[in-house]
Amino acid sequence: MSVIRCFGFPGILLAIPSLAAPVRFPRAYPPTNDVRLDNLVPIPMRDGVTLYADVYRPAKPGRYPVIVARTPYSVERYPVAYEEPLFFAERGYVFVFEDVRGRHESEGKWEPFRNDIEDGYDTVEWAAKQPWSNGKVAMQGHSYGGHVQWRAAMALPPHLVAIFPIVASTSLYHNWVTLNGAWRLSFNFGWGAVRQESRIMQNTGVHTLKHGPPSLSYETILEHLPLIDMQELAGRHTRFYTDWIRHPDYDDYWRVLNVEEVFDKLSVPVQTMGGWFDIFTQGTQHGYTGMSLRAKTEQARKQARMVIGPWEHGVSRKTGDLDFGPAAMVDRNEVQLEWYDYWLKGKDDGLGSAPPVRIFVMGRNEWRYEHEYPLARTMYTKMYFQPGHALSWEAPRGDAPPDRYTYDPMNPVPSTGGNNCCGTPTLSGPRDQRPIEKRPDVLVYTSEVLTKDVEVTGPVKVVLAASSDAPDTDFVAKLVDVFPDGRAINMCEGILRARYRDSFSHPEPLDAGRVYALSIDLVGTSNVFLKGHRIRVDVTSSHFPEFDRNPNTGEPFGTSAHVRAAHQEVYHSAAHASYILLPVIP
C-alpha cells in the first residue's frame, strides 16, 4: 500500500482534538417585528447608471444592520424573491434586494460578472450610509448571488463586515465555465445563451419547448457543431456567450474575475456552503481553503467557515438515486442567521468556539465537525489500476499491455449523474453508472470486496498513464461506490482537456503515441465505502452534454465542425502506473 500521511506534512500523523461532539445546526428564533417594503429604491453607481432595489426593513424606526443581496433573476420573482428578505427583516435586519446591472428594473448593459466588483462596492457603501442603517453591512445569496459577494469583497468596501456565498464559484474560468479546461456545455448554453439573453424571459428557454419542433429542442441544438454558432439556431445573439468561446484559455479576460488570485488581500470573514454534487462544489471548497490559509488577517483565517452536505444546487434529503436520510435536511436561512447575528449583532450561540467545518459524511450519512479542510489526519493513499480491470492497493509489477478504447465524438458517452444543475437536460447527482459502464469506450477498474469500512474525505485525484493518437482529447474519471446489490454510484468526477495538462494559460498539443502522466482533479467528496462494498474507477473520454465533445483535432476551440476518432491507451505497468489518489481517513 502506498501511503502519504497528513496533508502538508508527509510522513507525520498528527493527533487532533476529538470531533465526537454532535454537529449543531441552529434553530431560528421567532420573528421580532413587522416589516415595511420600499419598492424600486434607486441606488446610484459611480458611472451614472442607476440600479434599483426593494428594501425590506423593520417597521419600527431605527438604525439596523443591513444585508445586501444582488440578483439577475428579478427581485419580484414569486415566491422565492420574498421568502429570504422577509425572514431576515422580521428578525431585525434591513434587507436590500437589488437587480444587478441591465436586469429587470435596473439600468445599464447586462454582461454577466463584468460589473459586479464595482457595483457591489457601490451598493454596500450606499447601504451603509442610509438613515435606517447602523453602518454594518453583510451580503447574502446563492449561485450568482454568491458570486457577486466574492466580487464585491474583491473591491474591499470598508463597511462590508461578512459574506456568506452559497453554492458559488470562486474562479469563473476554473469552476464555472470550465472544469479543468473542459467546457460545461449544457450549463453554459442553457444558463448563458438561453436563459440570460432577455431581461424579461429569463425563465424560458429552448429546453422548455416540450411540444415544439424537433429542430429547436435543447438536445438537438446541443449536438450542433461548431459551438460558435450554436446559439443562432435558437434565435439567440448573446455577445458574452461568444466571448466565452473565444477565450477558452485562462487569460486576462478571466483573471480579473478570479477571487482565488487575491485571497491574500481579503480580510472579510467568509462562510461558504454547498453540496458534494453541486456544479460549484469546487468553489465552495476553494473559498474555504483559500480564506482559511491565505486571508490577509489572522481573524479572517481563523473565522473562515464551511458547511458542505450531500446536495446538488439546493438542500434536499434525496439527491439523485440516493436518500441520505433526515439528517441531510438543513435550513439554509437558519444557518445564515447564526452567521449574521454573530458578525452584525455580536450574538454568539456557540459559533465562535465551534470547529469551523461541518461536513456530511455519506455512506454513514452523518454530519461531523472538522478543524480544517482538507483534514490534517488524511492518509493520501494510492489505488492502482491493474490488468484485468482490477483496482488494488498494491503497485503493478512487471509489464502488461495497456487497455485500449476508441473515443468517437459522434457517439459520446452520455452524461449520467455528476455535478450539474439549472435546467440542463442531464440528470445530475449520484446515479447508477451501470448503463454506461457496458459501453466499449468506458474502462472500469474495480477493487475486491472491502472487508472493512474505508472513509474517503477530501480532494481526489486520478493520475492516468495514457496516450492518444490525437493532438488533443479529453479524459474523464469517476470515483464509484459499488453496492452489494450491484448498483454503481458515482461519488465524484473530473475531466481533463489534454492540451491543458501543464497549464490552463498555455495549451500544448499531444505527441501521438507518447505516454503522459495526466492528472485529473475529481474535486472532492466525503464517503464511507462500507464493508461489503467495492471501490471503482471509471475512465472514458466524453461526458456529453454536461461537457462539450472534444473533436480530437487540436483546432481552435469552438470554431470547427470537423471531428475525428481518437484511439486511447491507458497503462497499468511497473513502468507506467495509473492510479487514484484517495484521501483516506483513519
Active site residues: 143, 278, 313
- Give the angle subtended at the CA of 211 by the CAs of 207 and 217, to the nearest 5°: 35
Using CA of residue 317, residue 318, residue 324, residue 325, what is the dihedral sign? positive
Nine-digit cell string for 173: 474560468
306 closest CA partner among 20, 152, 526, 520:
526
CA 525 to chain centre: 12
CB-based contacts of 171, cutoff 8 Å, min separation 6: 254, 257, 258, 259, 260, 283, 286
What are the residue ranges of helices labelled H in 261-324? 281-294, 298-302
Q: What share of the chain is helix, strand, coil (3-state, %, to 5)?
A: 20, 30, 50
Task: Give the containing element (helix H, strand E) for 460.
Answer: none
Decide: helix, strand or coil at residue 363.
coil
Decide: helix, strand or coil at residue 492.
strand
Decide: helix, strand or coil at residue 124.
helix
Residue 238, judged by CB atoms within 10 A of its CB (0-12, 13-18, 19+), counts as buried
Decide: helix, strand or coil at residue 121.
helix
Cis peptide bond N-terminal to 507, omega within 30: no
The position carrying cell 500544448 is 508
Distances (CA, A) of 305 to 120, 138, 147, 336: 22, 15, 17, 11
Task: Give the C-alpha separation, 453 to 48, whole Å.
Answer: 61
CB count in 10 Å sphere of residue 461: 19
Report the DSSP pairing between strands 182-183 and 271-275: unpaired
CB-based contacts of 501, cutoff 8 Å, min separation 6: 508, 516, 518, 519
- Give the angle subtended at the CA of 32 by the CAs of 29 and 33, to the nearest 5°: 150
Angle between helices 116-128 and 144-154 (to 10 degrees): 80
